[in-house]
């Protein structure tokens, strides 16, 4: 529970902030422990907007989590305790209320005597990735918290960088597709109907392309509201089904993997993420079966996630990971399976996973670059061809009149 309070701190300054607590009494005790005299304190009531966006509101961005991990690693390596490090880091997030409340809550749990992992697990302010928390848990017991935090920071930063590269790469093609569709729809719905009246007064047989364009124009003009409503309903229904229906989302993800070129890029992107995370968790000392499960949970594609989760249960039974993947109905890149098998034979699974992730990330960069190189002229051809066809269809009757 989150409580909002106003009061006076130890130095006599007025303060207004939030505190996480199990109850109102617990919140008052925490303020008392921090030497804050409260004037008012009440549970924060969520607005309708907050209720709708709660998952977004309390989810730390990979970039912020990477920065936080790097800072904590740096302070711990300097000999500062995790408690002191968190209090120093809090001062860097004065303008970010969500992060400040999260760090304050974790610090309060540490002051109560909990370890870092338990403090992260106990807080309910933000949602943290499971692999992040389990890496912290293992590294704390192994005395390598600073090293693992640094590795987590690098991983999160790399993932954020890749996500931004993909968004940036597809921004222009997406913009071109939207603009072309808007232009074509505008011409069919508003421009073509204006010219249709001229052709009707000509009392002559119109060419087939002109008839097609006029029919499309009439359809758009008469059903523009229905078309727009259908698009909105389709998009909303698709998004809801992707979130609520596992079977629907699984089917969509399976279809994506079967697409030419796009499917291969999607699969290798997911396999690269799995390999990188598995390598990191293995280095952190996480048991291999748990490593497979945690690495699978960061995957977006449900087909591949299910593949690795099922494979982990077979590894528990004594099977090798490569054999467990091979026996599955879902088939993935054979080079990935062979590399895992080689790593298992030579007891170098961690090194092999690192190399696989680097190889697949690099391959995907090259393929996306090639795809965009081909996509740009194709989009220009599509836009020019579509608009050219409409214009030509409108000019054909005029040309036929001049010939007669």
List pLDDT tens digits, range 182-205. 888 888 777 777 777 777 666 677
CA gap 139, 106 in Å, rounded = 18
Query: Which distant-in-sequence residues (6+ apart) come within 8 Å of 79 by Cβ?
Result: none
Residue 217 vs residues 50, 146, 168, 170, 192: alpha-carbon distances, Å: 43, 65, 35, 30, 6
Domain positions in the chain are 2-52, 60-156
Instruction: Say how far apart CA 45 and CA 163 lie, in whole Å.
Output: 34
SS3 331: coil
Give the pLDDT of residue 28: 78
Rounded CA separation 283/276 (Å): 11
Cβ atoms of 340 and 347 closer than 8 Å: no
What phi, psi does 7 have (nearest 5°)? -175, -160
For the segment 132-146, the average pLDDT, to the nearest whole number, is: 81
Distance between CA atoms of 295 and 286, rounded to whole angstroms? 11
pLDDT of 56 higher than 50: no
Which pLDDT band holds residue 46 (cuts at 50, 70, 90)?
A: low
Rounded distance, CA 120 to CA 136, Å?
9
Q: Is the pLDDT of residue 80 over 80?
A: yes
pLDDT at 53: 42
Mean predicted confidence (pLDDT) in 163-181:
80
Judge contact between 217 and 193, C-beta under 8 A.
Answer: yes
Give CA–CA dist 322/334, Å, rounded.
Answer: 10
pTM: 0.69
C-alpha 295/C-alpha 307 separation (Å) is 12
Mean pLDDT, rounded, of the chain = 83
pLDDT in tens, 334-352: 999 999 999 999 888 889 9
For the record, the structure tokens of 180 come out as 């072309």
Q: Does domain 60-156 have CATH number 1.10.1660.10?
A: no
Lowest mean pLDDT among 177-181, 271-275, 346-350: 177-181
Residue 52: is its pLDDT beyond 50?
no
pLDDT class for 355, splitting at 50, 70, 90? very high
- Dihedral (CA of 379, 385, 388, 393) sign: negative
Q: What does the DSSP assignment read for 99-128?
A: HHHHHHHHHHHHHTT--HHHHHHH--SSB-
Interval 239-268: pLDDT, tens: 999 989 999 999 999 999 998 888 888 899
How high is the pLDDT of residue 402? 60
> Higher confidence at residue 84 or residue 14?
84
The closest alpha carbon to 255, from 272, 238, 240, belongs to 238
Average pLDDT over residues 168-173: 78
274-322 pLDDT tens trace:
998 888 888 877 888 888 988 888 888 999 999 999 999 999 988 899 9
Beta bridge partners of 67: none
């Amino acid at each position: 529970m989150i409580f909002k309070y106003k009061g006076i701190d130890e130095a006599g300054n007025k303060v207004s902030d939030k505190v996480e607590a199990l109850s109102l009494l617990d919140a008052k005790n925490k303020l008392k422990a921090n030497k804050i005299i409260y004037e008012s304190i009440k549970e924060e009531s969520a607005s309708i907007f907050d209720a709708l966006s709660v998952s977004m509101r309390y989810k730390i961005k990979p970039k912020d989590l990477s920065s936080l991990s790097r800072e904590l690693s740096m302070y711990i390596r300097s000999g500062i305790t995790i408690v002191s490090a968190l209090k120093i880091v809090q001062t860097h997030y004065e303008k970010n209320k969500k992060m400040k409340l999260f760090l304050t809550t974790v610090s309060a749990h540490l002051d109560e005597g909990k370890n870092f992992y338990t403090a992260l697990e106990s807080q309910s302010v933000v949602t943290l990735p499971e692999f992040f928390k389990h890496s912290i848990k293992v590294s704390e017991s192994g005395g390598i918290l600073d090293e693992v935090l640094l590795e987590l920071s690098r991983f999160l930063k790399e993932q954020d960088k890749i996500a931004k590269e993909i968004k940036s790469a597809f921004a222009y093609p997406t913009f071109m597709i939207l603009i072309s569709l808007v232009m074509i729809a505008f011409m069919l719905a508003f421009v073509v109907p204006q010219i249709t009246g001229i052709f009707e007064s000509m009392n002559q047989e119109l060419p087939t392309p002109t008839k097609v364009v006029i029919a499309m124009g009439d359809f758009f003009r008469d059903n523009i509201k229905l078309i727009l409503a259908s698009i909105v309903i389709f998009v909303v229904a698709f998004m809801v089904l992707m979130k609520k229906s596992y079977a629907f989302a699984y089917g969509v993800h399976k279809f994506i993997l079967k697409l030419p070129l796009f499917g291969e890029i999607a699969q290798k992107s997911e396999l690269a993420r799995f390999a990188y995370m598995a390598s990191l968790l293995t280095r952190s000392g996480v048991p291999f079966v748990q490593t497979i499960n945690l690495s699978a949970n960061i995957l977006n594609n449900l087909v591949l996630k299910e593949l690795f989760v099922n494979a982990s249960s077979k590894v528990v039974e004594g099977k090798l990971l490569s054999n467990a993947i091979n026996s599955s109905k879902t088939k993935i890149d054979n080079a990935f399976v062979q590399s895992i098998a080689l790593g298992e034979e030579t007891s170098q699974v961690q090194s092999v996973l690192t190399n696989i992730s680097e190889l697949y990330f690099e391959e995907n960069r090259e393929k996306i670059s090639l795809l965009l190189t081909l996509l740009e002229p194709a989009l220009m051809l599509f836009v020019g061809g579509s608009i050219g066809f409409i214009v030509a269809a409108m000019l054909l009757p005029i040309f036929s009149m001049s010939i007669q």
